[in-house]
């Protein structure tokens, strides 16, 4: 069984909990208790594979959330960065978060920068009050080599289900790639070790 860990990041009130609860329960619940960090668990089956999904939904007001990128960037296998299309400040914040994910990953994981990320423009139903054009979201995602989707947690389930499914598939591929790379560099160092030990002996005979 694969374990997949995702973290949701974004400004206060962007709709992180709404997006997540929509995915997990198919329902939209207007108001969420938002004074605590939450860790959600769900068992899923994607492409015939059983998965244990854990999603960290930090409370924006807590001090842990403010420093989330200093530690849980190592914890999460993938990120969903949410902004509100009717709030420019939340978009600017999403831009900073994407940059911080990139920087933290470069520092911590020896160049392993391509951690799967999906940028989500939520509250698409509020397009009459739009402050961020869809194209701006798409461009930001392209610059950061991540997926992009505008959604409305209030109105629709399918787009949200698709974006999580796609992200989880990418995370599974990324984890497999990292495991293969570790195995490969492990077998290279084993070959080196064997050469060092037996190669030298053979020479001395
Ligand atoms: N119109 C509309 N309102 C939404 C949508 N998604 C969330 N909301 C509302 O936006 C408000 C904030 O939603 P939350 O899901 O609590 O936002 P959050 O990002 O988790 O907020 P914090 O937990 O404070 O960080 C709530 O009143 C939601 O009902 C949406 O798609 N459309």
Q: Is residue 114 part of a domain?
A: yes
Q: Is residue 152 part of a domain?
A: yes
Residues 6+ apart with CB under 8 A from 123: 15, 84, 85, 86, 152, 153, 154
Q: Is residue 29 part of a domain?
A: yes
Q: pTM for the whole thing?
A: 0.86
At 23, is the pLDDT very low, low, confident or very high (cuts 50, 70, 90)?
A: very high
Ligand 1 is surrounded, with C-beta below 6 A, by: 10, 12-18, 30-32, 34, 59-60, 122-123, 125-126, 152-154
Which residue, by CA, sits nearest to atom 32 of ligand 1? 123
Buried b (16+ CB within 10 A) or exposed e, 177-200: eeeeeeeeeeeeeeeeeeeeeeee
pLDDT tens-digit map of 70-94:
555 678 999 999 999 999 999 999 9
H or E stretch at 33: none
Q: Residue 64 has what pLDDT?
A: 47
CATH number at residue 27: 3.40.50.300
Number of other residues whose CB lies within 10 A of the CB of residue 66: 11
Has residue 192 got a pLDDT over 80? no
Site to probe by mutation for ligand 1, drawn from 12, 17, 58, 131 as the one with most ligand atoms within 8 Å of Cβ, is 17
Q: Is residue 9 part of a domain?
A: yes
What is the SS3 assignment for 180? Answer: helix
How large is the ipTM?
0.98
Q: Residue 70 has what pLDDT?
A: 55
Q: Is residue 112 part of a domain?
A: yes
Number of structural domains the chain divides into: 1
Which residue, by CA, sits nearest to atom 7 of ligand 1? 15
* Rounded Cα distance, 163 and 8, in Å: 13
| Containing structural domain, residue 105 | 3-199
Q: Residue 205 has what pLDDT?
A: 46
Residues 6+ apart with CB under 8 A from 53: 4, 6, 40, 41, 42, 43, 44, 168
Q: Residue 194 has what pLDDT?
A: 62
Q: Is residue 204 part of a domain?
A: no
């Amino acid at each position: 069984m694969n374990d997949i860990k995702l973290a949701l990041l974004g400004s206060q009130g962007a709709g992180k909990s709404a997006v997540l609860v929509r995915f997990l329960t198919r329902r939209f619940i207007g108001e969420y208790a938002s004074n605590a960090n939450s860790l959600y668990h769900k068992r899923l089956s994607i492409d015939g594979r059983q998965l244990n999904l854990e999603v960290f939904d930090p409370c924006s007001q807590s001090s842990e959330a403010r420093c989330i990128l200093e530690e849980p960037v190592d914890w999460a296998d993938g990120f969903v960065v949410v902004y509100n299309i009717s709030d420019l400040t939340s978009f600017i914040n999403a831009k900073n978060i994407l940059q911080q994910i990139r920087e933290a990953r470069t520092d911590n994981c020896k160049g392993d920068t391509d951690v799967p990320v999906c940028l989500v423009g939520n509250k698409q139903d509020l397009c009459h009050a739009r402050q961020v054009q869809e194209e701006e979201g798409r461009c930001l995602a392209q610059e950061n080599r991540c997926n992009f989707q505008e959604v409305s947690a209030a109105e629709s389930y399918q787009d949200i289900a698709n974006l999580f499914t796609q992200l989880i598939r990418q995370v599974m591929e990324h984890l497999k790639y990292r495991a293969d790379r570790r195995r490969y560099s492990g077998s290279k160092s084993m070959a080196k070790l064997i050469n060092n030990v037996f190669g030298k002996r053979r020479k001395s005979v």
